[in-house]
Structures are given as C-alpha cells and as structure tokens.
Chains A and B, each alone.
Chain A
Amino acid sequence: MLTNKAQVVTYDFFIALAIFFLVMGLVMSIWYYTVIQAEESMEKRLAYNNLLSASQVWFKEGFPKYWDAENVVELGLSNDGKINETKIEMLKNSVGYSKASLLLNLGNFNFCYEVYDKSGNLIFRFPQNLDLSSARNIYKIERIGILNEQPVKVRTLIWN
C-alpha cells in the first residue's frame, strides 16, 4: 500500500511541477509582452500627437500672424483659411529645418512636409532631402488644404 501511495504522489508531483512551470512561463511571457506593448502604445500615442500637431501647422496662422524668420514665435503656414505661399517659402528658405523643428517642439522626432496637387504631383517638400533609411518608426498623416486657390494634399511625416 505504501509503495503504491509513494508512486502516485511522485507521479502527480512531477506533472504538477511541469504544469506550474508552464503556467509561470506563460504568465511571464504575457507580462513581458504587455509591458512592451504598453510602451509602444505610449510611444505611438506620443508620436501621433506630435504628428497631428505638426500637421496642424498648415492650417493655423502662427504668431505673429504674418511672421518672418526673425520674429516667429509660433509656426503657422496659413492665412484666411488658405495656405500662404510666402510662408512656406520662408519656412524653406529662411527659417530652416533646425529652427522649425524647435518651433514644432517635436522632441526626438524628425519631420518632413510634402504638398501634392490633386493629380498627385509633388509641388513642395521640406526639407528638400528626405532620408528615411535610419528611421525606426514612421508616422504619416494626409490633410487637405488650399494653396493658390487649388485644393492640395498636405502630407506630414515624422519619424524617430
């Protein structure tokens, strides 16, 4: 009788132990995955907020209303509901990427603006050269604005 009991206990014990480790392993994996996902989610949310904020530049006037490279406090490329061509020229030629990035307050994110006409032809890009080879995550939003009395598609890209 005792022999039989000991055999049963031993048999049960090993199975239970195996299951315990299996469950523990699963729980640890899920926990790790969850933490990673949460971090990525927060990162994405932050990136997305930055993306929307950067895209909104095309639809606000900024400060001062008619700023120049010297006095610009807040970047905005629009006036009276339409994109101001002078402002986007100033953005490209006077303000420059570094100052623009600072004004946009994008942190570690890089950015790029592209404007396409209704037929999909690129008519504006800032900065001129776009290198996404080192980009880890790229975020993109397309908006629709008015430039020179024509509707245009405004693409905003940010990446880290």
Chain B
Amino acid sequence: MELKGLAFTTDILIGLTLVISLIPLFYFVIESNYPETSFQSLTYQANDLIEILANLKASSFSNTSTISMLLSNKIISETDLNKTLLDLIGTFWYSGNKSIASNITKEVLEGLTEKCFSLQTHNETIYSSCSSNPKTVSVAYRLESGYEIGKPVSGYVARAWATKVRKNTTQIIIFYPEGSGWTAQRLEITKNFALPTNITIYNATLYVSIHFGTSKSQAQFEQLKINDVQKKNDIKWLYMQEEAFGWEITTAAYGVVDVTNEIQPGNNSIYLVIGTPNYHSHIHPGMRLIVTYSLSQELSTGNKSFKKRYYFDNVVGRTGAWSMVSFYIPENAKNAKAQLHLKTLEVDDTVDLFGRNSSDVIIYFNSGHIFYKDGYCSSQNCYPSCSISGLYYRNCRKVGVMNPELFLNLTNNLTIGTNVISVYLNNYGDVHWGDQKAIIYSDPLNDPEGSSYVEVYYEMEEPTFNYGEIDITREMLFGGSASNPKTFNFTLNQSQNKVIEAFVHIAQGFSSMVNASINNFWIFTSPSIRVVPENVYVYPNKLSVGKNSIRLVDFQEGGSISGTNYILPWSSFEYTYLVKGLVGYGNVFNSSQLAIEDAKQRLISQMGEEGIKPEGIQVDSQSVQGLRWLWGPSLFKILVWERE
C-alpha cells in the first residue's frame, strides 16, 4: 500500500512539473505583440532613407570625399551637383563605376541611422552597412532614371544619316573551272564582264590558276589579254607543280598579275589561250580577278526578291569543252527557282560503233549522276562505244555538227548553299571524242539573252539590308604554305558583325574532291570527282565576331586525303558586311547648329572607320527639355533591419 501511495505522489509531481513548464509560454504569448511595432519603425526608417536619396541634391554632399574627388578630377561638373543623390548613384552604377556609386551611398547614409541598411537595384547590392543576414527586413522602393554625367537637361539633340556615300569596296570576278578535253591543243576562254561605271579603280589583281603543258619545254601559255593588252609575260608565277606519268607530263601553275592599268570602269574582257600536247588543259579553282574601287552609292533599302544570272565564260575547246558554274541559294531563301540556258556551238554530232547517237552534251547538277544527256549512254560515265585511239580518244563517227540550245529547269534539284552545274561537250573525264572545236557560247555584254547562263530566283523574308546600311566587301587571303588539309583562322571585329554574304575561294593546283567547313560546320562537299568549284558559299549565321576558322580538305573518291592536291595559300575568304550610315541622337547642346554639327561629325567618324565618305547627309534636330535618358528606369530599394 505504501508503494502505491508513493507511486500516486510521483504522478502528481510529474504533472505539476509539466504545468510549471508551461508558464513561460504565457510570457511568449504576451511578448509576441511587439515585433509589429518594431517592423513599423523599420518601415518608417526605410522610407525616410529612400526619400533622402530621392529628394536631396548631390550639392548637399559636395564636401564628402568621393563627390569632392569627382569634382576635382572633373568627372562631374557643378551642373551635375543639381542631380538628386539617387540619380547620381544610378548614373555611376549603370555606367559601370560601381565602387563610386557604393562610396557615395556610404558617405551619404552612414551615421543617419543605427539600424542596418542596404541599397539595392536589380538584385545587386550597391552598398550594405551590415554583413549580417536580416531576420525581419523592411523595404522601401523608388523608381528612378537619369541622364549622363556632364550633359545638360535641356537643349538640342540631333541625328544624321547619309543619303549618298562613296565607299571603298572589293569585287571579285571569278573564272569557273573550265577547259577542253584530253590532249587539247588549244583552249580559248573569254570572260566578258561589266564593272559599275561610276567607280575609281584603286587596284586590280588577277590570280591565274591554270593547267597547261610542262613548266619547261611544252608550256603552251599563248595569250592573256586584258582588254586587248597582252599581259602573259607579266605574270609572276607563285607556285608550279609538275607531275609526270610516263610520257604524260603536265603542270599546275598559279600566278598573279597586276592589271590595275588595264581594268576599267564599265565593260571589260579577259582573253586566255593555253594548251597542252599530252594532258588536259583547263582552268583550276582559284582563278579570279579582284578589283578594289571606290563607288558612289545612293542609300536605299535592300530587295526581298532576287533574280541573278551567272553567266558562263565563253569556252572554245579542241576537242571537247567543259565548264563548271557554281552559284548559291542563301539559307533562308523561299520560292527558290533556277534554270539553265545553255547555248553551244560547233558540237560534233557522233554515233558509236553500233550506230547509236552518242551523248555529245552531258550535264551534271549537284550530283554524280547525269542530269541531262542528248544521246545514248552505254555506261555510267557515258563514254561512247567507239574505237579507242591512244589512251583517251574515242574515234567515233561524226555525222554532223550541231549548235544545241537548251533550257533546263533546275528547281527540283536545287540545294541551299552552293550549287554546281557541269556542262561537257564531246568529252567527260579523261575521255574525249569529236574532231573539231566545241564551244560553250557566252557574251553577256553584247548578247545577254543568247548567252549561256544559270538564272536564279529566290525571295527573302527580310531585305538583306535596311535603309541607312551600306554593304562593304572585303577579302582575306589564307596565307601560310600550300598544304592539304588547310585551315585558315581569321578574326571578324565588332564593326563586321553583320555579314550578309560570304564565300570561300578555293585555290588549288591539282584537285580531286573537296570538303569545306566553317567553324566546324559543314558547308560543302564535292558531289563527284573533279567537282571543285572556285567558290563555296559560307552561311553568314555560322560566322561570329571574334575568332573563326575555315577548313578545306582535298580527298580522293575513296575518301582518303589526297597526298599532292594542295590547298594553296592564295585561297581566300570573301565577305560582305553592313556598315551603319546613320547615327542616333547624341549629346545635348545649347544650340541646334551645334547638335547638327556633332551629329555630322559622328556620322563622318563612324563611316570613316570603314573607308566610307558621306556625299549627302540629312539631319534631324530636336529640342529637349528635362529629358531623362541613358539609364533606367530602374527600381531602387532600401532594406532596413535591426542590428544584431
């Protein structure tokens, strides 16, 4: 029984302990009312501080160390002291001078309150008086914007834009890879082209890339006439690669000649005659004329629809003639269409041993498969079944001479990027037939409709350039040494950030097939052997400001990298970029005349950096009063919390 009584007493004591332990809870319940008033006090402090910053002028603190230093260093003027403190802090903060903004805040607000505070904008802390983390924090907000240091708040601003400019630009006129059949005796190529008439030519350089006889006794380099001026002896040969396979001795040659004095504004003509007694004779990739000139241009908006003609060169081969024209469709083009007009002359009409009409006209387009043929093909390569003379000549029976003219729709086989169409007359690859010359006819200056050409049409969603934008074309040579593969690293600066068109000009001696990439992005692969175009389209959106690289690889049909087919250092990157021919509103001036003069000078300076001189300028001047600009509106907030 005593034990039971003791147990009962212990229970009571435990219960009593629990009751007593609850007593402090009453205290906390009672005390819980006080944080509300404390928070209210913090709120008042936060509002007071933000009002101080928003209403007090900087002049009130002109004797503080930071502001007096800014004054003495002429970073701010007496006029800037009329800004509010928040305006001044925001101006420095958003112009990147964050430590100045922080120091001003510290010097203005420290000592005004014993509580912790922090000035913030866009989740960035301008200044915090305490490093402790607040448990309860009160916040006051203020939206602010401001104008740049040193600028008056009223006056005149002006903008200017060019209506007519004179620019220095580059135009590249390419020679397509083209030539005659095997053991061609004489190859004649004529390129007629037009330059703008209102230009002043500063420089014209012709790169010559040809395949002819040997570099020694058998070299047949007969003519290079620029507007009837003989220049063949002026060529400086930069690279020669002679190869011999038994009695087949042949040379790939790459040279350069200055033709500045011969090339003229308006119509021009280049006439080339070469030959080889025992090999192909043709133009290799990389033959091009580079003309640098100044041009007067009225400013306008770019087109949204484009119709371009890519004219063939006039090619006279013996026997056989061929040409490989490259053209491009930009990546965001719509409704792209293309057609080939081929006008040929004096093509031998032949039949094979079985009396079947041979294919004397063969066309390939973006593929290793024949796109068009005019006769019978007994094999994939369409060599006629005729008796063989020597290694490469097919002695087919000639039944006449024809002048076929073709209109072929290429639209269904078009591809975005580089397109290549190859035309062969009385020959293909290493085999040729016929006994006289064959001509791919083209004279775009005198007979544009009757000439051979590819006509391309496409539409763009946006014009390639807007009013006030000026297109400038430049070229960069790869440089370095001949190699395969070859990588070209180059840099585009900020002013060249809007490239609208770009090409790689491939310069090669011997070539097989080529693969091209830009910044590790594929842009072109030859569809079949010997389809190496002179130029390959580069997608502008794959270029970037800063470092870029182009990689070219010559490879064999089986995929292996060619051992002796080098990419030459005179390969180049051509790019067209836009330069702004307008400047926006600038500083505020006390007179309209000063503002206009400033706008003009800014325009002249901006375009001058790219070699553009405005010939006509239009200006627009506005008066401004109390205009707030350049930064903001930004939300500033003051956080206030109790010091721990």
What are 8 A-B pairs at a CB distance below 8 A? A15-B9, A26-B23, A30-B23, A141-B41, A145-B48, A150-B60, A151-B56, A151-B108
Which one, B12-20, B123-131, B266-274, B488-496, is touching chain A? B12-20
CB distance from A156 to the nearest CB of B (A): 11
Chain B residue with the shortest CB-CB distance to A11: B5
Q: Name the prevailing secondary structure of the A interface residues.
A: helix
Which residues in A have their C-beta under 8 angstroms from that of B27? 37
Contact of A118 among B9, B12, B40, B112 (CB under 8 A): B112
Q: Is residue B281 contacting chain A, with contact meaning CB distance below 8 A?
A: no
Q: Is residue B59 contacting chain A, with contact meaning CB distance below 8 A?
A: yes
CB distance from A13 to the nearest CB of B (A): 11
Which residues in A have their C-beta under 8 angstroms from that of B41? 52, 141
With A55-B44, A144-B45, A144-B112 already in contact, the answer to whether A16 and B12 are too (CB < 8 A) is yes
- Residues B51 and A81 in contact, CB atoms below 8 Å apart: yes
Chain A residue with the shortest CB-CB distance to B60: A149
Q: Is residue A19 contacting chain B, with contact meaning CB distance below 8 A?
A: yes
Contact of A149 among B5, B20, B49, B59 (CB under 8 A): B59
A-B contacts, CB under 8 A, total: 78
Which residues in B have their C-beta under 8 angstroms from that of A33? 26
Q: Is residue A124 contacting chain B, with contact meaning CB distance below 8 A?
A: no
Q: Which residues 1-54 of A sit at the B interface, judged by CB distance below 8 A?
A: 4, 8, 11-12, 15-16, 19, 22-23, 26, 30, 33-34, 37-38, 41, 44-45, 48, 52
- Residues B1 and A4 in contact, CB atoms below 8 Å apart: yes
A41–B33 Cα distance when bound, in Å, is 8
A22–B13 Cα distance when bound, in Å, is 11
Which residues in A have their C-beta under 8 angstroms from that of B48? 59, 143-145
- Residues A22 and B44 in contact, CB atoms below 8 Å apart: no
With A143-B48, A144-B48 already in contact, the answer to whether A52 and B40 are too (CB < 8 A) is yes
Q: Is residue A65 contacting chain B, with contact meaning CB distance below 8 A?
A: no
- Residues B37 and A45 in contact, CB atoms below 8 Å apart: yes
A41–B37 Cα distance when bound, in Å, is 11
Contact of A30 among B2, B9, B26, B60 (CB under 8 A): B26
Q: Is residue B113 contacting chain A, with contact meaning CB distance below 8 A?
A: yes
Which residues in B have their C-beta under 8 angstroms from that of A59? 48
| 9 closest Cβ pairs, A-B complex | A144-B48, A37-B30, A81-B55, A48-B37, A149-B60, A144-B112, A151-B52, A143-B48, A41-B33
A141–B54 Cα distance when bound, in Å, is 22
Q: Is residue A153 contacting chain B, with contact meaning CB distance below 8 A?
A: yes
Interface string of B101-131 (1 = CB under 8 A from A): 0000000100111100000000000000000
Q: Is residue A142 contacting chain B, with contact meaning CB distance below 8 A?
A: yes
A21–B49 Cα distance when bound, in Å, is 57
Chain B residue with the shortest CB-CB distance to A82: B55
A11–B20 Cα distance when bound, in Å, is 24
With A81-B55, A153-B112 already in contact, the answer to whether A8 and B23 are too (CB < 8 A) is no
Chain A residue with the shortest CB-CB distance to B36: A45
- Residues B40 and A38 in contact, CB atoms below 8 Å apart: no
Q: Is residue B225 contacting chain A, with contact meaning CB distance below 8 A?
A: no
- Residues A23 and B44 in contact, CB atoms below 8 Å apart: no
A41–B113 Cα distance when bound, in Å, is 27
Q: Is residue A146 contacting chain B, with contact meaning CB distance below 8 A?
A: yes
Which residues in A have their C-beta under 8 angstroms from that of B113? 142, 144
Residues of chain A having any CB pair with chain B under 8 Å:
4, 8, 11-12, 15-16, 19, 22-23, 26, 30, 33-34, 37-38, 41, 44-45, 48, 52, 55, 59, 81-82, 118-119, 141-146, 149-151, 153
Q: Is residue B57 contacting chain A, with contact meaning CB distance below 8 A?
A: yes
Contact of B12 among A11, A15, A55, A119 (CB under 8 A): A15
Residues of chain B having any CB pair with chain A under 8 Å:
1-2, 5, 8-9, 12, 16, 19-20, 23, 26-27, 30, 33-34, 37, 40-41, 44-45, 48-49, 51-52, 54-57, 59-60, 108, 111-114
A12-B5, A149-B59 known, 19 other contacts, Cβ within 8 Å: A8-B1, A15-B12, A23-B19, A26-B19, A33-B26, A48-B40, A55-B44, A59-B48, A81-B51, A119-B111, A141-B44, A142-B45, A142-B113, A143-B44, A143-B48, A144-B48, A144-B49, A146-B52, A151-B112
- Residues B44 and A146 in contact, CB atoms below 8 Å apart: no
- Residues B16 and A23 in contact, CB atoms below 8 Å apart: yes
A95–B540 Cα distance when bound, in Å, is 79
Which residues in A have their C-beta under 8 angstroms from that of B5? 8, 11-12
A81–B52 Cα distance when bound, in Å, is 9
Contact of B33 among A12, A34, A45 (CB under 8 A): A45
CB distance from B94 to the nearest CB of A (A): 24
Chain B residue with the shortest CB-CB distance to A119: B111
CB distance from A12 to the nearest CB of B (A): 6
Which residues in B have their C-beta under 8 angstroms from that of A141? 41, 44
A53–B33 Cα distance when bound, in Å, is 19
Chain B residue with the shortest CB-CB distance to A49: B37
A33–B44 Cα distance when bound, in Å, is 33
A15–B56 Cα distance when bound, in Å, is 74
Which residues in A have their C-beta under 8 angstroms from that of B2? 8
A55–B111 Cα distance when bound, in Å, is 20
CB distance from B306 to the nearest CB of A (A): 62
With A8-B5, A30-B23, A33-B26 already in contact, the answer to whether A143 and B45 are too (CB < 8 A) is yes
A97–B340 Cα distance when bound, in Å, is 103
Chain A residue with the shortest CB-CB distance to B109: A151
CB distance from B164 to the nearest CB of A (A): 54
A118–B44 Cα distance when bound, in Å, is 18
Which residues in B have their C-beta under 8 angstroms from that of A153? 112
- Residues A118 and B111 in contact, CB atoms below 8 Å apart: yes
CB distance from A85 to the nearest CB of B (A): 15
A57–B19 Cα distance when bound, in Å, is 48
Which residues in B have their C-beta under 8 angstroms from that of A15? 9, 12
User: Considering residues B48, B59, B108, which has the most beta carbons from chain A within 10 angstroms of its beta carbon?
Assistant: B48
- Residues A149 and B112 in contact, CB atoms below 8 Å apart: no
Chain A residue with the shortest CB-CB distance to B85: A151
Chain A residue with the shortest CB-CB distance to B41: A141
A33–B28 Cα distance when bound, in Å, is 13
Which residues in A have their C-beta under 8 angstroms from that of B1? 4, 8
A38–B112 Cα distance when bound, in Å, is 34
Chain A residue with the shortest CB-CB distance to B32: A41
- Residues A19 and B16 in contact, CB atoms below 8 Å apart: yes
- Residues B30 and A38 in contact, CB atoms below 8 Å apart: yes
A143–B8 Cα distance when bound, in Å, is 61
CB distance from A159 to the nearest CB of B (A): 16
